[in-house]
């Protein structure tokens, strides 16, 4: 009897230890939700230096020089970048971390060899480079994204959503297979709770003349995503904005800066909305980045490819309860877009690298907790 009693006590102790350890693992991060929002082809130069004097001109396709100068030109890079991206530099830089200022020894880049969008988003969202994903054609991505991987878990089932102005997003995430809400281009939102405001936004989409086929203006998509966010409260939402890239390809530097400024404003709006909701306040991490850079020399800023050096250079930012407030990083190891998937999962207490060994490793500096 005594022996049985000892064994029983031992089992109790082991079970208690397992429960304690399990609780510690479950509670290792404070992040319960993720807002991941990207600006297509937004260069690191504008993020860290602000407007380029040489491009803020007729040569840069600027329609009204005086108006553009008033909006975006300042005497110092610190002031200029804040004029373009005020939320990033007044809020995220103070409470989170920003990587990619190569002048300070902080490099960020894509790993894929193509330096354009579909392969860039696939790398970012799946966590690795698949060289067979090498065009912008609307073909379903064979690879499983971290969003789909999370959606398959009971804790995230029907709690993941993705919205993109570019109609390629449903293919990048393989909507036919993925099983969660993925809204692209001018498609109406037809998943989850549909409010009267969402019905109105859906109507606007059907009545919008798409003069840039496949990539309509960001505004209607963003407000559709914001309304979905408020009504359905996903734990993970990804939002892809695209008109920074559209404006640059058209050679309109003033409109490129305007699109960047709107990106920053949209990030501010959804972040402040989250902080006003009890489901998100204090337990949500924000991630910001781009899918590729742009050319650095002459008219190279208008486009991006392996023939335009600089197109591989990116930037990234994180802010949330598990990310120490280290601000603009300097003299740190290079980071890559292939690290987003595992880092996003790690912030939620999940191990994506174990499930997908090809994925880039977690950016440890932003998942240290407090």
Q: What is the pLDDT of residue 161?
A: 98
The CATH number of the domain holding residue 301 is 3.40.720.10
Please indicate, yes or no, whether residues 36 and 26 belong to a single structural domain of this protein: no
- The DSSP annotation for 60-94 comes to GT-S-HHHHHHHH--SSHHHHHHHH-HHIIIIIHH
Please indicate, yes or no, whether residues 95 and 8 belong to a single structural domain of this protein: no
Tell me the pTM. Answer: 0.92
Give the C-alpha distances (Å, rounded to integers) separating 76 from 43, 51, 80. Answer: 18, 10, 6
Please indicate, yes or no, whether residues 14 and 104 belong to a single structural domain of this protein: no
Please indicate, yes or no, whether residues 23 and 62 belong to a single structural domain of this protein: no
Please indicate, yes or no, whether residues 26 and 137 belong to a single structural domain of this protein: no
Please indicate, yes or no, whether residues 87 and 227 belong to a single structural domain of this protein: yes
Q: What is the pLDDT of residue 41?
A: 98
pLDDT tens digits in sequence order for the chain, 370 residues long = 333 334 444 444 333 444 333 333 344 899 999 999 999 999 999 999 999 999 999 999 999 999 999 999 999 999 999 999 999 999 999 999 999 999 999 999 999 999 999 999 999 999 999 999 999 999 999 999 999 999 999 999 999 999 999 999 999 999 999 999 999 999 999 999 999 999 999 999 999 988 888 899 999 999 999 999 999 999 999 999 999 999 999 999 999 999 999 999 999 999 999 999 999 999 999 999 999 999 999 999 999 999 999 999 999 999 999 999 999 999 999 999 999 999 999 999 999 999 999 999 999 999 986 4
Please indicate, yes or no, whether residues 16 and 97 belong to a single structural domain of this protein: no
Helices (H), the chain: 2-26, 44-49, 65-72, 77-84, 86-87, 93-95, 117-126, 146-151, 169-172, 175-178, 196-206, 218-232, 243-249, 253-275, 340-347, 352-355
Please indicate, yes or no, whether residues 248 and 149 belong to a single structural domain of this protein: yes
Residues 315, 47: Cα–Cα separation, whole Å = 8
Please indicate, yes or no, whether residues 346 and 257 belong to a single structural domain of this protein: yes
Q: What is the pLDDT of residue 28?
A: 87
CB–CB of 285/29 below 8 Å?
no
Residues 96, 327: Cα–Cα separation, whole Å = 6
Domain containing 359: what range? 31-366
Please indicate, yes or no, whether residues 90 and 162 belong to a single structural domain of this protein: yes
Q: What is the pLDDT of residue 226?
A: 98
Q: What is the pLDDT of residue 212?
A: 85
- Domain count of the chain? 2
Q: What is the pLDDT of residue 7?
A: 40
Q: What is the pLDDT of residue 169?
A: 98
Please indicate, yes or no, whether residues 19 and 104 belong to a single structural domain of this protein: no
Please indicate, yes or no, whether residues 246 and 345 belong to a single structural domain of this protein: yes
Number of neighbouring beta carbons within 10 Å of residue 134: 15
SS3 240: strand
The answer for residues whose C-beta is within 8 angstroms of residue 218's C-beta and 6 or more apart is: 165, 241, 242, 243, 259, 262, 263, 266
């Amino acid at each position: 009897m005594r022996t049985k009693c000892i064994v029983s006590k031992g089992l109790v102790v082991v079970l208690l230890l397992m429960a304690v350890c399990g609780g510690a693992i479950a509670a290792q991060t404070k992040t319960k939700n993720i807002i991941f929002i990207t600006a297509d082809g937004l260069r690191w130069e504008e993020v860290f230096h602000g407007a380029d004097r040489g491009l803020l001109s007729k040569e840069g396709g600027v329609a009204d020089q005086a108006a553009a100068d008033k909006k975006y030109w300042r005497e110092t890079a610190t002031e200029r970048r804040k004029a373009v991206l005020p939320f990033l530099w007044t809020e995220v830089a103070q409470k989170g971390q920003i990587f990619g200022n190569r002048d300070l020894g902080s490099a960020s880049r894509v790993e894929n060899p193509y330096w354009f969008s579909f392969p860039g988003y696939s790398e970012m969202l799946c966590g690795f480079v698949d060289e067979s994903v090498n065009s912008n054609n609307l073909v379903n991505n064979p690879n499983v994204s971290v969003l789909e991987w999370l959606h398959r878990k009971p804790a995230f089932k029907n709690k993941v959503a993705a919205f993109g102005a570019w109609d390629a997003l449903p293919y990048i995430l393989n909507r036919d297979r993925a099983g969660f809400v993925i809204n692209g281009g001018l498609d109406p939102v037809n998943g989850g709770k549909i409010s009267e405001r969402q019905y109105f936004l859906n109507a606007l989409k059907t009545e919008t003349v798409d003069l840039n086929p496949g990539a309509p203006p960001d505004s209607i998509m963003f407000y559709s995503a914001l309304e979905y966010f408020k009504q359905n409260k996903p734990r993970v939402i990804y939002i892809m904005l695209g008109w920074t890239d559209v404006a640059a390809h058209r050679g309109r530097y003033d409109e490129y800066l305007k699109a960047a400024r709107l990106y920053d404003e949209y990030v501010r709006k959804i972040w402040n909305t989250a902080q006003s909701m009890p489901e998100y306040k204090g337990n949500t991490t924000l991630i910001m980045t781009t899918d590729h850079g742009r050319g650095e020399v002459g008219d190279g800023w208008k486009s991006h490819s392996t023939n335009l050096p600089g197109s591989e250079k990116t930037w990234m930012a994180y802010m949330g309860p598990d990310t120490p407030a280290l601000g603009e990083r300097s003299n740190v190891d290079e980071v890559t877009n292939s690290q987003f998937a595992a880092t996003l999962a790690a912030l939620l207490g999940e191990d994506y690298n174990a499930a997908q060994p090809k994925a880039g490793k977690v950016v440890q500096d932003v998942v240290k907790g407090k």
